Amino acid sequence: MNSKRQKNKGPIKQGHHYAKNHKIVERRMDDTVFLVNPETDTVLYLNQLGTAMWNVWTEPVSIEEATQTVQQAFPDVPPKEIARDVDELFKQLSKKDFVAPCD
Amino acid sequence: MGDCPQRFRPLQSRYIPLHVKGELFTIKGLRNPVALINCESLYPHLFMILRDWQFERVDPSDNHHPVITIQNTERGFQRQSRWLSKPATFRNPVDAVCDFIVDLIHAYIADNEDLLCLHCAAVEFKQGLVIFPNTYRAGKSILSVKLASCGGRLFSDDVLPITAQEPLGMALGILPRLRLPLPETSDQTFVDFAAKREGPKNSRYLYVSLTEHEQPSFGTMAPICGITILQRDRTNKPALMIAKKNFVLKDVILRNFARQNPALEIVDRLCSIVEEAKCYTLRYADLDQAVTLLEDAFGL
Protein backbone atom coordinates (compact mmCIF):
# COMPACT_ATOMS: atom_id res chain seq x y z
CA MET A 1 0.00 0.00 0.00
CA ASN A 2 2.83 2.37 0.81
CA SER A 3 5.26 1.50 -1.93
CA LYS A 4 3.92 4.40 -3.96
CA ARG A 5 3.73 6.71 -0.97
CA GLN A 6 4.90 10.18 -1.91
CA LYS A 7 6.44 12.87 0.22
CA ASN A 8 3.54 15.15 1.05
CA LYS A 9 4.24 18.64 2.21
CA GLY A 10 1.74 20.57 0.09
CA PRO A 11 -1.97 21.25 0.55
CA ILE A 12 -4.50 18.43 0.40
CA LYS A 13 -5.10 17.50 -3.20
CA GLN A 14 -8.72 17.08 -4.25
CA GLY A 15 -9.37 13.79 -6.01
CA HIS A 16 -6.10 12.22 -4.88
CA HIS A 17 -6.13 9.11 -2.75
CA TYR A 18 -4.33 9.09 0.57
CA ALA A 19 -2.96 5.99 2.29
CA LYS A 20 -1.85 5.40 5.87
CA ASN A 21 1.88 5.49 6.47
CA HIS A 22 2.59 1.86 7.40
CA LYS A 23 5.28 2.93 9.87
CA ILE A 24 2.76 4.66 12.10
CA VAL A 25 2.21 2.97 15.45
CA GLU A 26 -1.20 3.14 17.12
CA ARG A 27 -1.94 3.16 20.80
CA ARG A 28 -5.52 3.08 22.05
CA MET A 29 -6.90 4.38 25.32
CA ASP A 30 -10.67 4.09 25.83
CA ASP A 31 -12.18 5.20 22.53
CA THR A 32 -9.28 7.37 21.40
CA VAL A 33 -6.42 6.55 19.05
CA PHE A 34 -2.98 8.03 19.67
CA LEU A 35 -0.71 7.86 16.64
CA VAL A 36 3.06 7.88 16.84
CA ASN A 37 5.27 8.52 13.82
CA PRO A 38 8.65 7.04 14.81
CA GLU A 39 10.36 8.67 11.84
CA THR A 40 9.50 12.19 12.95
CA ASP A 41 9.00 11.44 16.66
CA THR A 42 5.59 13.03 16.43
CA VAL A 43 2.49 12.12 18.40
CA LEU A 44 -1.03 12.89 17.25
CA TYR A 45 -4.20 12.15 19.14
CA LEU A 46 -7.38 11.81 17.19
CA ASN A 47 -10.78 13.15 18.15
CA GLN A 48 -13.97 11.14 17.70
CA LEU A 49 -14.18 11.82 13.99
CA GLY A 50 -10.48 11.16 13.47
CA THR A 51 -10.64 7.90 15.40
CA ALA A 52 -13.70 6.74 13.43
CA MET A 53 -12.01 7.62 10.13
CA TRP A 54 -8.73 5.99 11.10
CA ASN A 55 -10.53 2.78 12.06
CA VAL A 56 -12.10 2.38 8.61
CA TRP A 57 -9.09 3.69 6.65
CA THR A 58 -8.06 0.31 5.31
CA GLU A 59 -7.70 1.33 1.66
CA PRO A 60 -6.48 4.59 0.11
CA VAL A 61 -9.22 7.18 0.20
CA SER A 62 -9.76 10.67 -1.24
CA ILE A 63 -11.04 13.59 0.77
CA GLU A 64 -14.28 13.53 -1.24
CA GLU A 65 -14.85 9.83 -0.53
CA ALA A 66 -14.06 10.32 3.15
CA THR A 67 -16.46 13.26 3.40
CA GLN A 68 -19.20 11.21 1.73
CA THR A 69 -18.66 8.28 4.10
CA VAL A 70 -18.88 10.50 7.15
CA GLN A 71 -21.98 12.27 5.83
CA GLN A 72 -23.69 8.89 5.42
CA ALA A 73 -22.73 7.91 8.96
CA PHE A 74 -23.88 11.21 10.47
CA PRO A 75 -26.87 12.41 8.39
CA ASP A 76 -27.97 14.89 11.07
CA VAL A 77 -24.70 16.84 11.03
CA PRO A 78 -24.65 19.74 8.54
CA PRO A 79 -22.64 18.71 5.43
CA LYS A 80 -20.56 21.90 5.57
CA GLU A 81 -19.46 21.09 9.09
CA ILE A 82 -18.47 17.57 8.09
CA ALA A 83 -16.57 18.81 5.04
CA ARG A 84 -14.64 21.27 7.22
CA ASP A 85 -13.80 18.63 9.85
CA VAL A 86 -12.67 16.05 7.29
CA ASP A 87 -10.55 18.66 5.53
CA GLU A 88 -8.92 19.56 8.86
CA LEU A 89 -8.31 15.88 9.63
CA PHE A 90 -6.59 15.30 6.28
CA LYS A 91 -4.43 18.39 6.80
CA GLN A 92 -3.36 17.27 10.28
CA LEU A 93 -2.62 13.73 9.18
CA SER A 94 -0.68 14.68 6.07
CA LYS A 95 1.28 17.52 7.68
CA LYS A 96 3.39 15.09 9.72
CA ASP A 97 3.26 12.17 7.27
CA PHE A 98 0.70 10.05 9.07
CA VAL A 99 -0.92 9.68 5.64
CA ALA A 100 0.36 10.54 2.18
CA PRO A 101 -1.00 10.72 -1.37
CA CYS A 102 -0.50 7.49 -3.23
CA ASP A 103 -1.55 8.32 -6.77
CA MET B 1 -7.07 16.46 17.93
CA GLY B 2 -3.69 17.87 18.84
CA ASP B 3 -0.10 17.82 17.94
CA CYS B 4 2.58 17.28 20.56
CA PRO B 5 5.61 19.53 20.40
CA GLN B 6 8.74 18.25 18.78
CA ARG B 7 11.93 17.46 20.66
CA PHE B 8 13.89 20.36 22.04
CA ARG B 9 15.26 22.67 19.39
CA PRO B 10 18.99 22.28 18.63
CA LEU B 11 21.03 23.36 21.57
CA GLN B 12 22.38 26.87 21.52
CA SER B 13 25.94 26.89 22.69
CA ARG B 14 27.07 30.31 21.63
CA TYR B 15 26.10 31.90 24.93
CA ILE B 16 28.08 29.52 27.09
CA PRO B 17 31.49 30.96 27.89
CA LEU B 18 34.27 28.42 27.74
CA HIS B 19 36.38 29.95 30.45
CA VAL B 20 34.64 31.51 33.37
CA LYS B 21 35.85 33.70 36.14
CA GLY B 22 33.75 33.59 39.27
CA GLU B 23 32.57 30.64 41.25
CA LEU B 24 31.90 27.28 39.73
CA PHE B 25 29.73 24.71 41.44
CA THR B 26 29.21 21.11 40.59
CA ILE B 27 25.76 19.89 41.48
CA LYS B 28 25.12 16.25 42.24
CA GLY B 29 23.20 14.79 39.29
CA LEU B 30 24.60 17.20 36.68
CA ARG B 31 27.56 16.41 34.43
CA ASN B 32 28.71 20.03 34.08
CA PRO B 33 29.01 22.75 36.69
CA VAL B 34 27.08 26.00 36.93
CA ALA B 35 28.95 29.31 37.00
CA LEU B 36 27.90 32.06 39.39
CA ILE B 37 29.75 35.29 38.77
CA ASN B 38 29.53 37.94 41.51
CA CYS B 39 26.36 36.26 42.71
CA GLU B 40 27.07 35.98 46.44
CA SER B 41 23.79 37.76 47.20
CA LEU B 42 21.95 34.91 45.47
CA TYR B 43 23.45 32.18 47.59
CA PRO B 44 21.14 32.37 50.63
CA HIS B 45 18.06 32.11 48.39
CA LEU B 46 19.59 29.54 46.10
CA PHE B 47 20.75 27.13 48.77
CA MET B 48 17.56 27.49 50.78
CA ILE B 49 15.14 26.99 47.88
CA LEU B 50 17.17 24.12 46.42
CA ARG B 51 17.09 22.56 49.85
CA ASP B 52 18.58 19.16 49.08
CA TRP B 53 20.74 19.88 46.06
CA GLN B 54 24.40 19.30 46.78
CA PHE B 55 26.53 22.17 45.54
CA GLU B 56 30.28 21.85 45.64
CA ARG B 57 32.76 24.56 44.68
CA VAL B 58 35.29 23.55 42.04
CA ASP B 59 38.47 25.22 40.83
CA PRO B 60 37.51 27.82 38.20
CA SER B 61 40.97 27.64 36.67
CA ASP B 62 40.20 24.19 35.29
CA ASN B 63 38.77 24.00 31.83
CA HIS B 64 35.11 23.67 32.76
CA HIS B 65 32.14 24.14 30.49
CA PRO B 66 29.32 25.44 32.65
CA VAL B 67 25.87 24.35 31.64
CA ILE B 68 24.29 27.47 33.16
CA THR B 69 25.92 30.81 33.91
CA ILE B 70 24.53 33.63 36.05
CA GLN B 71 26.36 36.90 36.21
CA ASN B 72 25.44 39.80 38.44
CA THR B 73 25.51 42.80 36.11
CA GLU B 74 24.41 46.43 36.39
CA ARG B 75 21.10 45.42 34.85
CA GLY B 76 20.54 42.52 37.20
CA PHE B 77 21.25 38.80 37.38
CA GLN B 78 21.85 37.76 33.80
CA ARG B 79 21.52 34.06 32.99
CA GLN B 80 22.76 32.22 29.95
CA SER B 81 22.20 28.59 29.09
CA ARG B 82 21.61 26.35 26.14
CA TRP B 83 17.89 26.41 26.87
CA LEU B 84 17.67 30.15 26.37
CA SER B 85 17.74 31.74 22.92
CA LYS B 86 18.90 34.98 24.55
CA PRO B 87 20.10 35.86 28.05
CA ALA B 88 17.44 36.31 30.74
CA THR B 89 17.90 39.09 33.29
CA PHE B 90 16.21 39.56 36.66
CA ARG B 91 16.78 42.34 39.17
CA ASN B 92 15.14 40.56 42.05
CA PRO B 93 17.21 37.67 43.47
CA VAL B 94 14.18 35.51 44.24
CA ASP B 95 12.96 35.89 40.65
CA ALA B 96 16.47 35.09 39.42
CA VAL B 97 16.61 31.86 41.44
CA CYS B 98 13.07 30.95 40.48
CA ASP B 99 13.89 31.20 36.78
CA PHE B 100 17.27 29.50 37.23
CA ILE B 101 15.42 26.44 38.52
CA VAL B 102 13.74 26.05 35.12
CA ASP B 103 17.13 25.59 33.46
CA LEU B 104 18.41 23.47 36.32
CA ILE B 105 15.57 21.00 35.78
CA HIS B 106 16.26 20.95 32.03
CA ALA B 107 19.92 20.23 32.77
CA TYR B 108 19.05 17.48 35.23
CA ILE B 109 16.68 15.82 32.77
CA ALA B 110 19.21 16.12 29.94
CA ASP B 111 21.86 14.41 32.08
CA ASN B 112 19.51 11.69 33.31
CA GLU B 113 18.20 10.48 29.99
CA ASP B 114 15.89 7.73 31.19
CA LEU B 115 13.65 10.10 33.09
CA LEU B 116 10.33 11.43 31.99
CA CYS B 117 9.42 14.74 33.56
CA LEU B 118 5.89 15.98 33.99
CA HIS B 119 4.82 19.55 34.60
CA CYS B 120 2.68 18.75 37.61
CA ALA B 121 2.45 18.84 41.37
CA ALA B 122 2.74 15.56 43.28
CA VAL B 123 1.75 14.64 46.81
CA GLU B 124 2.11 11.30 48.55
CA PHE B 125 -1.05 9.99 50.19
CA LYS B 126 -1.50 6.73 52.11
CA GLN B 127 -2.27 4.92 48.84
CA GLY B 128 0.71 6.35 46.97
CA LEU B 129 1.69 9.36 44.91
CA VAL B 130 -1.07 11.46 43.35
CA ILE B 131 -0.10 13.84 40.59
CA PHE B 132 -1.88 17.03 39.60
CA PRO B 133 -1.01 17.95 36.01
CA ASN B 134 -0.50 21.63 35.40
CA THR B 135 -3.59 23.55 34.38
CA TYR B 136 -3.52 27.31 34.14
CA ARG B 137 -4.39 28.94 37.48
CA ALA B 138 -5.97 25.73 38.81
CA GLY B 139 -4.01 26.04 42.06
CA LYS B 140 -1.70 23.01 42.02
CA SER B 141 1.01 24.70 44.12
CA ILE B 142 -1.21 26.00 46.88
CA LEU B 143 -3.20 22.77 46.97
CA SER B 144 -0.04 20.69 47.29
CA VAL B 145 1.21 22.88 50.17
CA LYS B 146 -2.22 22.68 51.80
CA LEU B 147 -2.09 18.89 51.50
CA ALA B 148 1.37 18.91 53.10
CA SER B 149 -0.11 20.90 55.99
CA CYS B 150 -2.74 18.16 56.42
CA GLY B 151 -0.40 15.18 56.50
CA GLY B 152 0.47 14.60 52.83
CA ARG B 153 4.10 14.53 51.69
CA LEU B 154 4.83 17.05 48.98
CA PHE B 155 7.09 15.59 46.29
CA SER B 156 6.85 18.62 44.05
CA ASP B 157 4.66 21.63 43.38
CA ASP B 158 5.75 22.04 39.76
CA VAL B 159 7.72 19.24 38.06
CA LEU B 160 8.04 15.53 38.73
CA PRO B 161 10.72 13.27 37.26
CA ILE B 162 9.53 9.70 36.63
CA THR B 163 11.92 6.77 36.52
CA ALA B 164 12.04 4.27 33.69
CA GLN B 165 11.99 0.73 35.09
CA GLU B 166 9.14 0.71 37.53
CA PRO B 167 7.46 4.06 37.02
CA LEU B 168 8.20 5.92 40.24
CA GLY B 169 7.82 9.62 40.93
CA MET B 170 10.92 11.24 42.40
CA ALA B 171 10.99 14.05 44.93
CA LEU B 172 13.18 16.97 43.88
CA GLY B 173 13.73 18.65 47.23
CA ILE B 174 12.90 22.11 45.87
CA LEU B 175 10.78 24.30 48.13
CA PRO B 176 7.25 24.90 46.86
CA ARG B 177 6.35 28.42 45.80
CA LEU B 178 3.09 30.20 46.52
CA ARG B 179 1.77 33.17 44.60
CA LEU B 180 1.11 36.23 46.78
CA PRO B 181 -1.22 37.39 48.09
CA LEU B 182 -2.70 34.11 49.25
CA PRO B 183 -6.31 33.65 48.11
CA GLU B 184 -8.91 35.35 50.29
CA THR B 185 -10.56 31.95 50.74
CA SER B 186 -7.48 30.60 52.57
CA ASP B 187 -8.36 29.65 56.13
CA GLN B 188 -6.38 31.10 59.03
CA THR B 189 -4.79 27.74 59.89
CA PHE B 190 -3.24 27.56 56.44
CA VAL B 191 -2.15 31.20 56.48
CA ASP B 192 -0.42 30.54 59.84
CA PHE B 193 1.16 27.36 58.48
CA ALA B 194 2.65 29.24 55.51
CA ALA B 195 3.81 32.11 57.75
CA LYS B 196 5.58 29.73 60.15
CA ARG B 197 7.48 28.19 57.26
CA GLU B 198 8.23 31.39 55.42
CA GLY B 199 11.26 31.02 53.16
CA PRO B 200 12.66 33.40 50.54
CA LYS B 201 9.99 35.78 49.28
CA ASN B 202 9.37 38.91 47.28
CA SER B 203 6.26 40.89 46.47
CA ARG B 204 4.91 38.19 44.17
CA TYR B 205 6.06 34.87 45.54
CA LEU B 206 6.68 33.09 48.81
CA TYR B 207 8.74 29.92 49.08
CA VAL B 208 7.51 27.61 51.83
CA SER B 209 10.22 25.96 53.87
CA LEU B 210 8.57 22.64 54.63
CA THR B 211 10.04 20.14 57.05
CA GLU B 212 11.59 16.85 55.86
CA HIS B 213 8.45 15.08 57.02
CA GLU B 214 6.23 17.36 54.95
CA GLN B 215 8.54 17.31 51.94
CA PRO B 216 10.72 14.23 51.43
CA SER B 217 14.31 14.71 50.44
CA PHE B 218 15.68 14.79 46.90
CA GLY B 219 15.63 11.33 45.31
CA THR B 220 12.84 9.84 47.43
CA MET B 221 10.72 7.60 45.18
CA ALA B 222 7.08 6.57 45.33
CA PRO B 223 4.72 4.70 42.98
CA ILE B 224 2.10 6.80 41.20
CA CYS B 225 -1.37 5.68 42.24
CA GLY B 226 -3.50 8.58 41.05
CA ILE B 227 -3.78 11.35 38.50
CA THR B 228 -6.14 14.20 39.28
CA ILE B 229 -6.98 16.98 36.87
CA LEU B 230 -7.76 20.16 38.80
CA GLN B 231 -10.74 22.29 37.90
CA ARG B 232 -11.46 25.46 39.86
CA ASP B 233 -15.19 26.06 39.79
CA ARG B 234 -17.13 28.35 42.11
CA THR B 235 -20.54 27.67 40.60
CA ASN B 236 -20.93 23.89 40.70
CA LYS B 237 -20.86 21.57 43.69
CA PRO B 238 -17.35 20.30 44.54
CA ALA B 239 -16.79 16.72 43.39
CA LEU B 240 -14.13 14.16 42.62
CA MET B 241 -15.27 12.68 39.33
CA ILE B 242 -13.81 9.70 37.49
CA ALA B 243 -11.93 11.01 34.46
CA LYS B 244 -11.75 9.26 31.12
CA LYS B 245 -8.29 7.79 30.68
CA ASN B 246 -7.95 8.93 27.09
CA PHE B 247 -8.43 12.51 28.26
CA VAL B 248 -5.88 12.01 31.05
CA LEU B 249 -3.35 10.38 28.71
CA LYS B 250 -3.64 13.27 26.28
CA ASP B 251 -3.05 15.66 29.16
CA VAL B 252 0.03 13.93 30.55
CA ILE B 253 1.60 13.55 27.10
CA LEU B 254 1.34 17.32 26.78
CA ARG B 255 2.74 17.87 30.29
CA ASN B 256 5.85 15.75 29.67
CA PHE B 257 8.78 17.92 28.68
CA ALA B 258 11.53 15.30 28.77
CA ARG B 259 11.67 14.39 25.13
CA GLN B 260 15.14 12.92 24.79
CA ASN B 261 13.67 9.42 24.40
CA PRO B 262 11.79 8.20 21.30
CA ALA B 263 8.17 9.40 21.16
CA LEU B 264 6.83 5.84 21.07
CA GLU B 265 8.69 4.92 24.25
CA ILE B 266 7.39 8.05 25.96
CA VAL B 267 3.79 7.33 24.93
CA ASP B 268 4.07 3.69 26.04
CA ARG B 269 5.47 4.65 29.43
CA LEU B 270 2.78 7.26 29.97
CA CYS B 271 0.09 4.81 28.77
CA SER B 272 1.23 2.33 31.37
CA ILE B 273 1.15 4.95 34.14
CA VAL B 274 -2.34 6.14 33.18
CA GLU B 275 -3.66 2.59 32.88
CA GLU B 276 -2.49 1.74 36.40
CA ALA B 277 -3.59 5.00 38.04
CA LYS B 278 -6.95 6.03 39.42
CA CYS B 279 -7.88 9.02 37.28
CA TYR B 280 -10.10 11.82 38.48
CA THR B 281 -11.17 15.35 37.78
CA LEU B 282 -11.38 17.40 40.97
CA ARG B 283 -13.88 20.23 40.83
CA TYR B 284 -13.44 22.57 43.77
CA ALA B 285 -13.76 26.14 44.91
CA ASP B 286 -11.66 26.20 48.06
CA LEU B 287 -8.79 24.21 49.49
CA ASP B 288 -10.69 22.56 52.33
CA GLN B 289 -13.19 21.03 49.92
CA ALA B 290 -10.34 19.70 47.80
CA VAL B 291 -8.52 18.18 50.77
CA THR B 292 -11.67 16.44 52.03
CA LEU B 293 -12.42 14.88 48.64
CA LEU B 294 -8.83 13.76 48.05
CA GLU B 295 -8.49 12.38 51.57
CA ASP B 296 -11.61 10.28 51.05
CA ALA B 297 -10.21 8.86 47.82
CA PHE B 298 -6.54 8.38 48.64
CA GLY B 299 -6.18 8.69 52.46
CA LEU B 300 -4.00 11.17 54.30
Are B262 and A38 within 8 A, CB to CB? yes
pLDDT band of residue A7 (cuts 50, 70, 90) is low
From chain B, the residues in CB contact with A32 under 8 A are 246, 249-250
Q: What is the average pLDDT score of chain B?
A: 91
pTM of the predicted model over 0.90? no
**For position A9, what pLDDT does the model report?**
55
Candidates A29, A37, A96; nearest CB to B246: A29
With contact defined as beta carbons under 8 Å apart, do B290 and B146 qualify?
A: yes
Identify whether A12 is part of a domain: no
Identify whether A81 is part of a domain: yes
Report d(CA B270, CA B264) in Å as an integer: 10
Q: Where in chain B are the domains?
A: 23-111, 116-298
Chain A residues whose C-beta sits inside 8 Å of any chain B C-beta: 25, 27, 29-32, 34, 36-38, 40-47, 50, 88-89, 92, 95-96
| CATH number of the structural domain spanning residue A88 | 3.90.930
With contact defined as beta carbons under 8 Å apart, do B205 and B99 qualify?
A: no
Distance from CA of B42 to the nearest CA of A (A): 39
ipTM of the complex: 0.82
Identify whether A64 is part of a domain: yes
Hey, is the C-beta of B245 within 8 angstroms of any chain A C-beta? yes
Q: B interface mutation test: which of A30, A45, A95 has the most B CBs within 10 A?
A: A45
Residues composing chain A: 103
Query: Domain of A71?
Result: 17-97
**For position A28, what pLDDT does the model report?**
94
- Per-residue burial over B179-200, b if 16 or more Cβ lie within 10 Å, else e, is eeebeeebeeebeebbeebebb
Candidates B3, B264, B274; nearest CB to A29: B274
Higher pLDDT, B165 or A71: A71
**For position A102, what pLDDT does the model report?**
87
**CA B128 distance to own-chain centroid:** 18
**For position B229, what pLDDT does the model report?**
97
pLDDT per residue over A52-92, tens digit each? 899 889 999 999 999 999 999 889 999 999 999 999 999 99
Are B264 and A25 within 8 A, CB to CB? yes
Are A30 and B7 within 8 A, CB to CB? no
Are B259 and A42 within 8 A, CB to CB? no
pLDDT per residue over B256-277, tens digit each? 999 889 999 999 999 999 999 9
Identify whether A66 is part of a domain: yes
Hey, is the C-beta of B271 within 8 angstroms of any chain A C-beta? yes
Average pLDDT over residues B274-286: 96
Q: What is the average pLDDT score of chain A?
A: 87
Identify whether A102 is part of a domain: no
pLDDT above 60 (res B5):
no
**For position A10, what pLDDT does the model report?**
60
pLDDT per residue over B54-92, tens digit each? 999 988 777 778 999 999 999 999 999 999 999 999 999
CATH architecture of B116-298: 3-Layer(aba) Sandwich (3.40)
Identify whether A7 is part of a domain: no
Report d(CA B85, CA B83) in Å as an integer: 7
Are A41 and B246 within 8 A, CB to CB? no
Tally of CA atoms within 13 A in the half-sphere of B299 that contains its CB: 4
pLDDT above 80 (res B9):
no
pLDDT band of residue B160 (cuts 50, 70, 90) is very high
Candidates A42, A46, A47; nearest CB to B263: A42
The count of domains in chain A is: 1
Residues composing chain B: 300
DSSP secondary structure string for all residues of B115-179: -EEEEEEEEEETTEEEEEE--TTS-HHHHHHHHHHTT-EEEESSEEEE-SSS-EEE------EEE
pLDDT band of residue B21 (cuts 50, 70, 90) is low
